[in-house]
Structure 1
Amino acid sequence: MADRYDGPIIDMHIHAVDDRSAQIGMEYNNPQTGQQFLGSKSPKEHINETLAKFKEHNIVKAVVSPEFSIEKGSPTEEWYNYAPETVLMGVPWTELVSLDTLRQKYAEGKLHVLAEMAPMYNGILPTDERVTPYFDLAEELDLPVGYHLLPGGPPGAAYTFAPKLRAAQAKPLQFEEILVSHPKMKIYIIHAGWPYLEDMKALMYAHPQVYVDIGVIDWLLPRQEFHNYLKGLVDAGFGNRIMYGSDQMIWVDAIDDAIESINSAEFLTMEQKAGIFYNNAARFLGLSEDEIMKHHEIAAHNNR
């Protein structure tokens, strides 16, 4: 039986919804695992249920991204008002928000991370000249970037909500020239570049500034496939740059599965689990020693 980690957790991949979301109340029957997930029935329930999971699992920090435009406000601001010490406010999933808006939000303290950046849903690759100014901005303002490749929603997304999405366009090595031209940019590849393990290892080897999160693949994929992929990254020596994420979308119970998928990995040491759940993200985000100490105190108090 694998030892269980019960310390503080940083979730690098959380989503907020509002009344415009088509996901509200949606059930998801996972064709990969056979599991069924029931969606939150309203935005209010979604935030309350997610924050309850945060307390249950000692999630002390979370990158929260909205689904739609932040031009006139965002549900992430409501989340931040509920839990200002926990929530890091991000950007919409697929939309390239205007640079002026991002600068304004940053100046107002309402933008902490450029995540989740996912223009691939609209057929826009990270190498597209339309995306370059966002990397420039991230480097200028020292904003971490979380960039989505695959998976793109449930299997078959190109035939439903994302007709321009292509698996062949999700290879991590396309980031090479972007990284070389933006050497000071802090970036993590969302979903850890799955299923392109060899490409991901090559990118992380060649560019030591690259981190990954394991959101969604830690509950969407069959457990053995996820463990094989995670073990491949760990065995290659990149365990200190892997960060936990859930990507719970509307299905809050997925957070339980995401955490269990790491705790059940018998090939991970407790030190490696602590790195994935907390230490690696704390380093990536540049948290202060005082904040790190406080997070451990919160977890210890919750575990009593």
Structure 2
Amino acid sequence: MRFKGLDLNLLVVFDALMETHSVTRAAERIGLTQPATSAALRRLREFFGDPIVVAVGKRMHPTPFAEALHPQMQQALRGVERAIATPSTFDPATSTRRFRIIGSDYIMVAVLVPLIERFACTAPGVRLEIIQPNEHSVAELEAGRADLLVTPEPFLASWHPSEVLFEEEQVVVGWAQNPIFARGLTENDFYAAGHVTVAFGADRTPAFADSTLSRMGRERLVEVTVGSFASAPWFIEGTPRLAVLHERFVRQIARRFNLAWAPLPFDFPKMQEMMQFHQSRTGDVGLDWLRQQMREVAAEVA
């Protein structure tokens, strides 16, 4: 099929070349012979008037034009893929659909673990794939490689629909034998202690509480920074260190670690935990059902 003179099958070849940087591997990915893939590359070059990929040593590297074009082509292909793969009806009792959710280990503990327990009875064939957030999370949603992004409001993409999953308090967490919890945590106690903070991805994006505290202007003594919420208790138990974590998460992990917690000794905003999906997924009945299940579980946990 052609669209404005372009064979649309070439878009699949273009995407595979951009992902693999190799004619051979692109051919394997899309099920073509290497000569057929090379011929498709020649046709792409002729149509766009650009080399698309060039050989540097033993690898093919995209041209600047191809790099700029790729996100748009990906979005078009993922839209077609979703349109074909998404059924018009959804029966959770018989569905074997897999949902890919980008969410932290906090969301896993607070919502997704009880959600899977619910599915054992109501949707035994439904599967979840949980992806840790990083600096590419919005791009993953944009490219169709995730169904749902669960994140605090400041980290949303403004151009896609979102909704509140729940509101969350932040609490100060420490070792249960730390005397400051018995006598009553003060602001001076908080800032005098060493702290454990959480940051995600290669860009080390701080968690909601840590980024909010940084903006408040008073410096903390950060002794340890970890890449997940679940790592923090290992650096707290048996020490005078503190961390600021989500209350739902703390209530779950406190049963497994010897921890105590208290409200922050100063005013601190509530966090709005949001669910976001791609604009093109509006009307996806399976995704609508999943979001409703998550809202119900979040309300029950609260």
- Normalised to the residue count of structure 2, the TM-score between the two structures is 0.26
TM-score scaled by structure 1?
Answer: 0.26
Higher radius of gyration, 1 or 2: 2
